[in-house]
């Protein structure tokens, strides 16, 4: 892989070196179009080859840190976090899933029973390498679970810097992954505040059922109060979930969301029984029902997040 930086929006793009080599060998001038801002610019081959990063350097860029959160329960946070992570991993990105929920469902969905996880990391009993387990190719997991309840009490008792506890603990892996995805529990507590003091991008799943807009506007207020202290965090993606295309109500809610949040609104995840069945088999949707509508919807989300229209096609 080599990194090409768009001169206009400075977004960094990973490009397969073999693809570039073909063009070099043909001796033609090569240009690239930025996937993010669509700017077309020439690629200067000599410079690119002089600056070829080695394997280690490819990861000197910081991971994208995306948290999946909403105070309202049962909206598809965990399902979205795990399946987005599994999809990104299948698309070739290195992904760390961090489960900050006492329900500890991420490991269940992925069919793993890790002996250690986020609790042991936050209590400093073990090192981060001892707490992270590999769940699939390109996919690693820092599991949650009941024991996190005790950790919340420890964080609460800290005299200062309590909100940075998670960020400090995850610092050693800042540049090791392409994506660090964080799942949160419903409600609002010290651990969620910690997640919001660590992540830079927020993904909010909104169930297209009763009163989704109320939960969202409440959350926006809470996010606003965090943003006063952390300018780097922003709401990037609103993902409508449980879309039932047979009835009108959810479609109308979707149109309303589109008017309110045109930039961040993503394609919806439709209601699909495969999504509720897959966890009991310890499988992601791509493994359990690769041909399902849910699999297609999460593939689309992977493309949106990576800004790569060809990912997982
Ligand atoms: N699009 C969908 N279609 C059908 N079932 C779904 C869909 N998305 C999620 N589910 C199911 O709905 C339930 C709730 O989803 P999930 O656990 O992801 O929500 P959550 O927001 O993480 O909940 P909590 O707030 O309790 O953590 C689960 O049983 C899940 O399998
Ligand atoms: Mg959950």
pLDDT digits (tens, 9 = 90+) for 47-57: 665 555 554 44
Q: Is 275 in the pocket of ligand 1 (CB under 6 A)?
A: yes
276 pocket-lining for ligand 1 (C-beta < 6 Å): yes
What domains can be seen in the chain, in order of their start residue? 2-50 (no CATH), 62-306 (3.40.50.300)
By DSSP bridging, strand 139-142 and strand 64-68 are unpaired
Q: Which two tokens stand for residue 241?
A: 């979930």
Q: Tell me if 271 sits within 8 A of 250, measured CB to CB.
A: no
Q: Identify the pLDDT of residue 56.
A: 45
Distance CA 192, CA 200 (A): 13
pLDDT given at position 48: 66
Which atom of ligand 1 is least distant from the CA of 72?
Answer: 25
CA separation for the pair 196, 77 (Å, rounded): 15
Phi-psi region of 10 (alpha: psi -120 to 50; beta: other; left: phi over 0): left
Q: Which residues of the chain have pLDDT under 70?
A: 1, 20-25, 27, 45-60
Beta strands 139-142 and 95-99 are: parallel
Could you tell me the CA-to-CA distances from 186 to 74, 77, 189, 192 in Å, in that order?
A: 8, 9, 9, 9
Helices assigned H by DSSP within 114-211: 118-122, 128-131, 148-157, 165-170, 190-196
pLDDT digits (tens, 9 = 90+) for 153-188: 999 898 889 999 999 999 999 999 999 999 999 999
Residue ID of nearest Cα to ligand 1 atom 13: 74
Phi-psi label, residue 211: left if phi above 0, alpha if psi -120 to 50, beta otherwise = left
pLDDT of 7 reads 77
Maximum Cα–Cα distance for the chain, whole Å?
A: 64
Q: Which pLDDT score, from 0 to 100, does residue 138 have?
A: 97
Instruction: Read off φ and ψ for residue 228, nearest 5 degrees.
Output: -60, -30
74 lines ligand 1 (CB under 6 A): yes
Q: Which ligand is nearest to the CA of 71?
A: 1
What pLDDT shows up at residue 55?
46
Provide CB contacts within 8 A for 144, sequence distance 6+. Answer: 99, 100, 101, 102, 103, 104, 105, 106, 107, 117, 118, 183
- Please choose, from the candidates 141, 1, 150, 148, the residue with its C-alpha nearest in 3D space to the C-alpha of residue 61: 1
| Residue 211: predicted pLDDT | 74
Indicate which ligand has the atom closest to the C-alpha of 281: 1
């Amino acid at each position: 892989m080599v990194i090409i930086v768009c001169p206009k929006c400075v977004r960094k793009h990973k490009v397969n070196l073999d693809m570039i080599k073909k063009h070099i060998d043909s001796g033609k001038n090569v240009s690239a179009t930025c996937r993010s801002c669509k700017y077309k610019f020439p690629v200067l081959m000599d410079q690119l080859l002089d600056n070829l990063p080695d394997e280690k350097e490819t990861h000197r860029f910081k991971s994208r840190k995306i948290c999946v959160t909403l105070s309202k329960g049962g909206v598809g946070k965990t399902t979205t976090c795990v399946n987005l992570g599994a999809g990104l991993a299948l698309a070739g990105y290195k992904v760390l899933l961090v489960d900050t929920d006492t329900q500890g469902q991420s490991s269940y969905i992925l069919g793993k029973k890790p002996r250690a996880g986020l609790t042991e990391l936050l209590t400093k009993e073990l090192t981060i390498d001892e707490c992270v387990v590999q769940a699939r190719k390109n996919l690693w997991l820092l599991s949650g679970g009941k024991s996190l309840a005790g950790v919340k009490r420890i964080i609460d008792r800290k005299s200062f810097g309590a909100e940075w506890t998670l960020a400090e603990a995850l610092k050693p892996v800042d540049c090791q992954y392409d994506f660090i995805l964080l799942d949160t529990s419903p409600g609002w507590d010290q651990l969620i505040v910690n997640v919001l003091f660590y992540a830079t991008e927020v993904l909010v799943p909104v169930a297209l059922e009763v009163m989704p807009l109320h939960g969202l506007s409440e959350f926006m207020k809470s996010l606003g109060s965090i943003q006063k202290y952390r300018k780097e965090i922003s709401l990037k993606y609103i993902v409508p979930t449980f879309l039932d295309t047979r009835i009108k109500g959810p479609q109308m809610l979707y149109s309303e969301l589109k008017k309110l949040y045109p930039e961040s609104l993503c394609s919806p995840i439709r209601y699909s029984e495969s999504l509720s069945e897959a966890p009991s088999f310890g499988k992601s949707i791509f493994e359990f029902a690769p041909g399902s509508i849910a699999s297609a919807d999460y593939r689309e989300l992977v493309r949106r997040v990576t800004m790569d229209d060809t990912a997982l096609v």
